[in-house]
Structure 1
């Protein structure tokens, strides 16, 4: 079973999300959308669009709970249910809550430093 197949997103916690979004937009040219982030589309070595994207977002961090970290990485996975079962069997702290939507399936595990790690199985074809 493939476990992590790539990075699906980077989420940054800020006490002042609007200020930080503006800084990234102004100084690094990131096209921050009204929802608080952007989606970077993947391209191949020739610069041609390919299936997949990476989300980048700044928010107040409520989504990171119970972690106190200032970031959360979202990892693309091949088979969320099998991976969560394997992580539980390996003694990892897997959160019971999972989500499924048009954006895919989501689950979470806490790493040994207490960081919440998001696992994402994208919809078919993405």
Structure 2
């Protein structure tokens, strides 16, 4: 069975993403990168990493969800998971997106939260 193997990231809306990132850097020591988020390296035995990233409050990136956050999970077999979720009738994008960062599929949970499934590049 294809499955989640880790947390890929937490993405959330903020009134002022830059100021919020600065606060986290100053008070909690997060190493905020130039693009506005933090990349945490994970277990070298599993490909990928974890991202923490504030987005503008009016972002459309989480659409069609109206939730103020989106969760990204790392998965071991995106094609297999796509087939499993499709067979189960889960609401999701029509196809997997390929990019330089890996492969992505976005789905919706029963409460309307956008979930991003990510298979890192090999």
State the TM-score, normalizing by the size of structure 2. Answer: 0.88
Deviations 1:56-90 (A, max 9, x none): 11112321111111111110111112211211111
Structure 1 segments, 4+ long, off by >4 Å, are: none
Pick from 100, 108, 112: which aligns with 1:110?
108
Equivalences, count: 119
How far did 1:52 drift?
3.5
Do the aligned partners of 2:2 and 2:78 also contact (CA within 8 Å) in 1?
no
Q: Greater CA deviation, 92-101 or 27-36?
A: 92-101
More strand as a share of residues:
1
How far did 1:121 drift?
0.6
Q: Give, in whole Å, the separation in 2 of the partners of 1:97 and 1:30.
A: 34
Deviations 1:83-117 (A, max 9, x none): 11211111110122532112100001100000000
> 2:53 — aligned with what?
57
Q: Give, in whole Å, the separation in 2 of the partners of 1:106 and 1:74.
A: 9
How large is the RMSD of aligned CA atoms in angstroms? 1.6
> 2:117 — aligned with what?
119
